[in-house]
C-alpha cells in the first residue's frame, strides 16, 4: 500500500471507530499487520498523521490515538 | 490585584519546625492570581475533604503525546484562576545540575506563563511546572525548546529517564549514570514523546548498589552499577576505624549478608566469591574499602507501585553488563522487551505484571537471555530451568548417572 493510501486508511479506521472503540498505537499496527502491512510502515504513517495534527494522542487511563481537534467538528 | 482568602486550615501547616509549602504558596499568591486561587481552592478542599479536580482531557503540544497533564477545577466559577491548571513536565538535567541562571530562566518563564508554582523535582524526576492554561502550552514548549529544554514523558510512554549524581560527585559510582541517561533519552525520543506502549515504562540508572535513586523500587528497568574485582582493603584505615571505636565484628562482619568477612582484631579479610555486592561494608568503612574493576551494571526488570498487583521490587535479568558507549547491548535488550510487551501486554499492564502473567521463561527467551542463579529471587523459587522435548531426547541425566 502506498504511504498516502495507508495514511488515509488509518485515518478512516480511527474516524469510523470514534465513540465506539479506542485504538492504541499498537492496536492500529496489529490491525494493519493482518492486511500484510509491515509494522514500521504503519508506525511511520501514524507519525505523519500526528505531526500534521490530523490525529492526536489522548489520555484516558492509557494513551490512545484519536481524531485531531481540527477535523473533529468539520 | 490578586484575591485574598482566609486559610485557617492551611495556616496550621506553617507551624512546626519544617519548611512549609503553604508559606511558599502564599509568596507566589501575592503576585500571581492563579497561585492565589489555588490557595483558596486548597483551603476549601481541606475544609470539605474533597479535591475538586477533574482529571484528564485532551491537552498537549502538537506532535507530542505527553508532557502535559490536563487539570481543570470543578469550581471554576468560584476560583477562575484555576479553571485550567495543567501540569507541565519538563525533562530534567541528568543528575539535577543547574546554573543559577538556568533556574532563574525557568522561574521567570513560569511566572509569565503559569502559576509560578514549581516542584523541583516531581516523583517522576521531571521538573514540574504546576498550573497553566491551554493557550500557553504551545508558546511555552517553543520557548523551552529554543533554550535547550524539552517536555518529559507521561501516559503510556517511556518516562523521562533519571539517575543519581554518579561520577559527577560520587566516589562510588562505577558507571557513568549521567551519560547513560542522556544517551538513552536521545536514543528513545520517539518512545518518550509518542506513547505507544500498554502503559508507562521507567528507566532509572544509579552508580552503585546504594541506589540513591531507589531504582530497584521505582523503575521498570533498573540499571545499577556494580563491580567484579575484589574489594580492595586498606588495613591501616580499617584499624583506624576500630581505634576510633567502631565495633568491626558487630557493625561490619555480623551484618554482611554474604557472611564473607572475617576480622581478627588486626586484619580484615573478605571472601570475595561469596560477596553479594550490597555495599554495606564499603559505605560503613568509607575510604578503607573500595570496589575494583571490572565495572559494569546489573540490569533488573519490573518494579512498580501497587496497582493491578501489589508493589514489586525489580528482578535481576542480567547480573553483569559492560556499560560502554554506545550501550548497544542494553539498547537491543530494551527494544526486544518492548516488542514483546507491545505484542502481549494488556491495557495498563506494566512489563513486570506481564512477566508474572506469561512467565519469566518466555521473557528470557524473548530477550535472548540464559537463566542464571542470580535470577532466583528467593530460595526454593523457580529458577526458570525448563527442559524442552529435544533436550530430553539427548538423555541429559545419563551424564549424572555415570
Ligand atoms: C498531608 C497529606 C499529604 C502528604 C504529607 C503528602 C506527601 C507527599 C509527598 C512527600 C509526595 C512526594 C512528592 C515528590 O516526590 O514530588 C507526594 C506525592 C504525591 N501525592 Fe501526596 N501527600 C499528601 C496528600 C495527598 C493527597 C490527598 C493526594 C491525592 C488526593 C496526594 C497525591 C499525590 C500524588 C498524585 C503524588 C505524586 C506527585 C508527582 O508525581 O509528583 N497526596 N505526596
Ligand atoms: C500429606 C503429608 C504432607 C504434605 C501434604 C506435605 C507438604 C509439604 C509442603 C507443601 C512443603 C513445602 C515444600 C516447599 O515449598 O519447600 C513441605 C515441606 C517439608 N515437609 Fe512435608 N508434607 C507432608 C508430610 C511430611 C512428612 C511426613 C514429613 C517428615 C517425615 C515432612 C517433612 C517436610 C520437611 C522437612 C519439609 C521442609 C523441606 C524444605 O526444607 O523445604 N512432610 N511439606
Ligand atoms: S547510587 Fe551510589 S554512585 Fe549513585 S550517588 Fe548513590 S552512592 Fe553514589
Ligand atoms: S559488599 Fe556486602 S556482601 Fe560484599 S563483603 Fe561487603 S557487606 Fe559483605
Residues having CB within 6 Å of any atom of ligand 3: B 164-166, 170, 172-173, 206-208, 210-212
pLDDT tens figures, B288-318: 999 999 999 999 998 887 766 678 889 999 9
Q: What pLDDT does residue A74 have?
A: 36
Collect contacts of B25-32 with beta carbons under 8 A, ≥24 apart: B25/B117, B28/B115, B28/B116, B28/B117, B29/B2, B30/B2, B31/B2, B31/B111, B31/B116, B32/B2, B32/B111, B32/B115, B32/B116
Phi, psi of B192 (to 5 degrees): -80, -40
Residue to substitute in B10, B46, B48, B122 for testing ligand 1 pocket (most ligand atoms within 8 angstroms of CB): B122
Contact of B366 with B337, CB cutoff 8 Å: yes
Q: What was the pLDDT predicted at B121? A: 94
pTM (2 d.p.)? 0.81
Question: In this structure, which ligand is nearest to the CA of B378?
Answer: 2
The mean pLDDT of B210-236, rounded to a whole number, is 97
Among candidates B109, B60, B68, which has minimal Cα distance to B90?
A: B68
Closest CA to B205 of B169, B179, B168: B179
Residue pLDDT, tens place only, B111-141: 999 999 999 999 999 999 999 999 999 999 9
CB-CB neighbors (< 8 A) of A44 in chain B: none
Residues in B touching A69 (Cβ below 8 Å): 58
- Residue B37: all three cell numbers together: 486561587
Region of residue B214 (phi > 0: left; psi between -120 and 50: alpha; otherwise: beta): left
Three-class DSSP category at B297: strand
Cα dist from B363 to B4, B87, B333, B353, B370, whole Å: 57, 36, 11, 11, 11
Cβ B231 vs Cβ B281: under 8 Å: yes
Residue B384 predicted with pLDDT over 70: no
Q: How many CB atoms lie within 10 A of CB A47?
A: 15
What are B46-95's pLDDT values in tens digits?
999 999 998 766 788 988 999 999 999 999 999 999 999 999 999 999 99
Q: From CA A46, how far away is CA B367, in angstroms rounded?
A: 27
Q: Is B400 exposed, middle or buried (0-12, 13-18, 19+ CB in 10 A)?
A: exposed
* Helix spans in B147-227 (H): 177-187, 189-193, 215-218
Of B402 and A25, which is predicted with more confidence? A25
Residue B114 forms beta bridges with which residues? B132
Residue bearing the CA closest to ligand 1, atom 27: B51
- The partner residue sitting opposite A25, judged by closest CB among B56, B64, B196, is B196
Whether pLDDT at B357 is above 70: yes
CB contact under 8 A, A66 and B58: yes
Q: For residue B373, what pLDDT is reported?
A: 82
User: Is B119 touching ligand 1 by the criterion CB < 6 Å?
Assistant: yes
Give the residue among B65, B102, B70 at the shortest CA–CA distance from B88.
Answer: B70
Determine which of B64, B70, B191, B195 to mutate to test the interface with A (most A C-beta atoms within 10 Å): B195
Let me know: does B132 contact B114? Beta carbons within 8 Å: yes
Which domains are present in chain A? Answer: 3-71 (1.10.10.10)
- Report B:130-159 residues touching A (Cβ under 8 A): 154-157
Q: Which three cell numbers stand for residue B378?
A: 528467593
Residue B371 has pLDDT above 90, yes or no: no
**Above 60 in pLDDT, residue B348?**
yes
Stretch B319-348: mean pLDDT:
96
Q: Across chain B, what does the average pLDDT equal?
A: 93
Chain A nearest CA to B255, separation (Å):
44
Residue A72 has a pLDDT of: 45
Q: What is the DSSP string of B221-244?
A: EEEEEEE-SPPEE-HHHHHHHHHT
Give the ipTM. 0.80
Which of B233, B243, B238, B176 lies closest to B206 in space, CA to CA?
A: B176
The pLDDT value recorded for residue B313 is 87
Compute the distance between CA of residue A23 and CA of residue B319 in angstroms, rounded to an integer: 38
Determine whether the interchain pair B56/A60 forms a contact, defined as Cβ–Cβ distance below 8 Å. yes
Which of A26, A51, A69 is the closest to B342 by Cβ? A26
DSSP code at position A23: B
Domains along the sequence of chain B with CATH: 19-146 (3.30.70.2500), 162-228+294-367 (3.30.413.10), 232-290 (3.30.70.20)
Question: H or E stretch including B301?
Answer: strand B295-301
CB contact under 8 A, B347 and A25: no
Q: How many CB atoms lie within 10 A of CB B399?
A: 8
Of the pLDDT bands very low, low, confident and very high (cuts 50, 70, 90), residue B383 is low
pLDDT at B381 over 70: no
φ/ψ (deg, to 5) at B286:
-55, 135
Spans in chain A with pLDDT lower than 50: 71-74
State the pLDDT at residue B79: 95
Amino acid at each position: 500500500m502506498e504511504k498516502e493510501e495507508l495514511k488515509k486508511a488509518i485515518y478512516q479506521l480511527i474516524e469510523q471507530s470514534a465513540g465506539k472503540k479506542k485504538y492504541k498505537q499498537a492496536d492500529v499496527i496489529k490491525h494493519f499487520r493482518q492486511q500484510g502491512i509491515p509494522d514500521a510502515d504503519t508506525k511511520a504513517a501514524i507519525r505523519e498523521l500526528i505531526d500534521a495534527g490530523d490525529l492526536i494522542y489522548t489520555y484516558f487511563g492509557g494513551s490512545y490515538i484519536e481524531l485531531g481537534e481540527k477535523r473533529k467538528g468539520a | 490585584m490578586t484575591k485574598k482568602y482566609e486559610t485557617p486550615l492551611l495556616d496550621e501547616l506553617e507551624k512546626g519546625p519544617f519548611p512549609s509549602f503553604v508559606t511558599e504558596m502564599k509568596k507566589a499568591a501575592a503576585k500571581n492570581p492563579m497561585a492565589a486561587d489555588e490557595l483558596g481552592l486548597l483551603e476549601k478542599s481541606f475544609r470539605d475533604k474533597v479535591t475538586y479536580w477533574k482529571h484528564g482531557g485532551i491537552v498537549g503540544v502538537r506532535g507530542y503525546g505527553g508532557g502535559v497533564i490536563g487539570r481543570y477545577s470543578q469550581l471554576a466559577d468560584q476560583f477562575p484562576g484555576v479553571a485550567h491548571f495543567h501540569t507541565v513536565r519538563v525533562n530534567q538535567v541528568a543528575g539535577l545540575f543547574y546554573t543559577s541562571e538556568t533556574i532563574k530562566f525557568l522561574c521567570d518563564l513560569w511566572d509569565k506563563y503559569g502559576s509560578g508554582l514549581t516542584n523541583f523535582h516531581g516523583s517522576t524526576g521531571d521538573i514540574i511546572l504546576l498550573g497553566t492554561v491551554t493557550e500557553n502550552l504551545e508558546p511555552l514548549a517553543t520557548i523551552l525548546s529554543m533554550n535547550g529544554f524539552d517536555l518529559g514523558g507521561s501516559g503510556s510512554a517511556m518516562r523521562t529517564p533519571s539517575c543519581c549524581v554518579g561520577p559527577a560527585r560520587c566516589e562510588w559510582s562505577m558507571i557513568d549514570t549521567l551519560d547513560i541517561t542522556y544517551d538513552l533519552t536521545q536514543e528513545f525520543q520517539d518512545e518518550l514523546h509518542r506513547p505507544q506502549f500498554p502503559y508507562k515504562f521507567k528507566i532509572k540508572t544509579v552508580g552503585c548498589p546504594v541506589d540513591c535513586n531507589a531504582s530497584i523500587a521505582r523503575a521498570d528497568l533498573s540499571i545499577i552499577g556494580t563491580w567484579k574485582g575484589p574489594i580492595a582493603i586498606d588495613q591501616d584505615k580499617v584499624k583506624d576505624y576500630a581505634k576510633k571505636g567502631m565495633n568491626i565484628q558487630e557493625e561490619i562482619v555480623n551484618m554482611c549478608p554474604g557472611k564473607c568477612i572475617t576480622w581478627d582484631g588486626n586484619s580484615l579479610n573478605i571472601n570475595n566469591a561469596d560477596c553479594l555486592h550490597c555495599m554495606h561494608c564499603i559505605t560503613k568503612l568509607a575510604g578503607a574499602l573500595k570496589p575494583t574493576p571490572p565495572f559494569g551494571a546489573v540490569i533488573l526488570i519490573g518494579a512498580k507501585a501497587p496497582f493491578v498487583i501489589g508493589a514489586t521490587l525489580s528482578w535481576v535479568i542480567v547480573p553483569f553488563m559492560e556499560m560502554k558507549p554506545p550501550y548497544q547491548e542494553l539498547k537491543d535488550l530494551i527494544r526486544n522487551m518492548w516488542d514483546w510487551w507491545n505484542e502481549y501486554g494488556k491495557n495498563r499492564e506494566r512489563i513486570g505484571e506481564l512477566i508474572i502473567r506469561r512467565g519469566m521463561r518466555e521473557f528470557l527467551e524473548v530477550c535472548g537471555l540464559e537463566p542464571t542463579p542470580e535470577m532466583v529471587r528467593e530460595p526454593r523459587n523457580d529458577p526458570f530451568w525448563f527442559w524442552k522435548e529435544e533436550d530430553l531426547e539427548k538423555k541429559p541425566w545419563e551424564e549424572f548417572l555415570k
